[in-house]
Amino acid sequence: MHPIHDVDALLLLAIGLASKRRPAEPLEIVAAIDLIQGNIPAEAKLSEAIARLAMHGLIGEVDGRCLLTADAQKMIEALPRKAEPDAQLFALRGALAAYTTTGECAAIEIAPETLRAAMLAHRASAESGAKNLLVPKPKPVEPAKRPGQRQRKPLPARRRKD
């Protein structure tokens, strides 16, 4: 797939994150992009990236929701699981560079106005204090010790019998 834009890999990873159980709505995709990168690209760039990825057969549409095709699922499953999002995006860009389109696919048109409305709804939900379920759990700073487990005194050294 040529040319590869940064938004393509980000969008593909976000759709993979947001569509675990069912196809993802634009609001869920925007929330996943915010989780992965911290800032959301412009709605025109996202709309172009959705159309571009759909033309190459990596994204499908069901009732106005986006989902990954089998080829895109294989790319996402091949990513390192415990890597940081930046490393995953880098690996996904490499997979996109090596991907060849199998045929002509239907384009998906999501209007920039729909994406803008999803961005505004995401910002409003972030300001309302509602919990975003896509946010990962914070890791503890120090490993928690199990209760009741104390360090035992070492046994004294054995003396040899001569």
- Within-domain flag for 143: no
Is 80 exceeded by the pLDDT of residue 140? no
- Within-domain flag for 48: yes
For 27, list phi and psi in degrees, rounded to 5.
Answer: -65, -40
Average pLDDT value for residue range 91-98: 89
Separation between Cα atoms, residue 129 and residue 158, nearest integer Å? 63
| Domain of 52, in residue numbers | 6-128
- Within-domain flag for 98: yes
- Within-domain flag for 122: yes
CATH code of residue 59? 1.10.10
C-alpha to C-alpha distances, 115 to 3, 7, 46, 120, nearest whole angstrom? 23, 14, 8, 9
Question: Residue for token digits 């920039």?
Answer: 112
Query: How confident is residue 131, by pLDDT bands cut at 50, 70 and 90?
Result: low
Task: Report how many domains make up the chain.
Answer: 1
Average pLDDT value for residue range 117-125: 84
Structure confidence by residue, pLDDT tens digits, 43-81: 889 888 888 888 888 898 888 888 888 888 998 888 888
**pTM score over 0.85:** no
Query: How confident is residue 129, by pLDDT bands cut at 50, 70 and 90?
Result: low
- Within-domain flag for 54: yes
Is 70 exceeded by the pLDDT of residue 113? yes
Share of the chain above pLDDT 90, in %: 2
Is 70 exceeded by the pLDDT of residue 130? no
- Within-domain flag for 67: yes
- Within-domain flag for 155: no
Sorted by sequence, the CB contacts under 8 Å of residue 1 that are 6+ apart come out as 8, 56, 58, 96, 97, 99, 100, 101
Average pLDDT value for residue range 122-151: 67
- Within-domain flag for 73: yes
